[in-house]
Amino acid sequence: MSTFKFAVGLTFLFATAVHAEGPGLGQPVSANEIPFYATYVMPDGRGLPEGGGTAAEGAEIYAAQCTSCHGETGTEGPVMPPVWPNELWPKSVGKHWPYATTLFDYIRRAMPLNDPKSLSDDEVYALAAFILARNGIIDEGLAMTAKTLPTVEMPNRDNFIDVWATQGEKPW
């Protein structure tokens, strides 16, 4: 009898401790239920898939899938931001973005605008290689993979002030 009471009391304590303010109705979610776009490739490369691609392969994909928005050369648009620098929009990938991993993740989840998530991982690697090579950041022949992409040194990386870290919620 006392054991039963103790068990009931323990269950109650556990429930109130874990779900103090809510009914505790969340259901367990397993790793295979979580789509790739619910995470993000991190700057150190965590989350990059297998596969790879080169600038030459990327050039063909770019010509077929990207020019209607970003233009034949990538500088003229009409849609901004450009994939390599122009004077109108200085925050292009090559000139501005601090990490190359962002390029892979964004293309994979969001591009092309009218058919997002349609490109294969190899195609996304190839497009990342093409854009980085056209920006003069990597050699034309260097394939982008889970190993090489996080090692790309983006020229503007150390040119940022982290406002959250330095002053929190206070507006800049």
Q: What is the contact surface with other proteins in residues (CB under 8 A)?
A: 18-31, 33-34, 37-43, 68-69, 77-79, 81, 88-93, 96-99, 101-102, 105-106, 109-111, 113-114, 116-117, 156, 159-165, 169-172
Nearer to other proteins by C-beta: 6 or 79? 79
Of residues 94, 96, 70, the one with CA closest to residue 84: 94
What DSSP state is assigned to residue 144? Answer: E
Q: Residue 155 class from Cβ within 10 Å (0-12 exposed, 13-18 middle, 19+ buried)?
A: middle
Nearest 5 degrees, angle CA 113-CA 131-CA 107? 30
> In this structure, are residues 48 and 108 in contact, taking their beta carbons and an 8 Å threshold?
no
CB of 69 to other proteins, least distance (A): 6
Amino acid at 78: P
Which CB atom, from 13 or from 141, has the smaller least distance to other proteins?
A: 13
3-class DSSP state of 26 = coil
Task: Compare residues 4 and 172 and give the one whose CB is closer to other proteins.
Answer: 172
Shortest Å distance, C-beta 8 to other proteins: 22
User: In the complex with other proteins, which residue's Cβ is closer, 6 or 16?
Assistant: 16
As measured in angstroms, the least distance from the Cβ of 59 to other proteins is 21
Is residue 67 within 8 A of residue 83, CB to CB? The reply is no
Secondary structure (3-state) at 152 = coil
Q: How far is the CB of 120 from other proteins (least distance, A)?
A: 17
Cβ(135)–Cβ(156) below 8 Å? no
When the beta carbons of 56 and 106 are compared against other proteins, the nearer one is 106
Least distance CB 157 / other proteins (angstroms)? 10
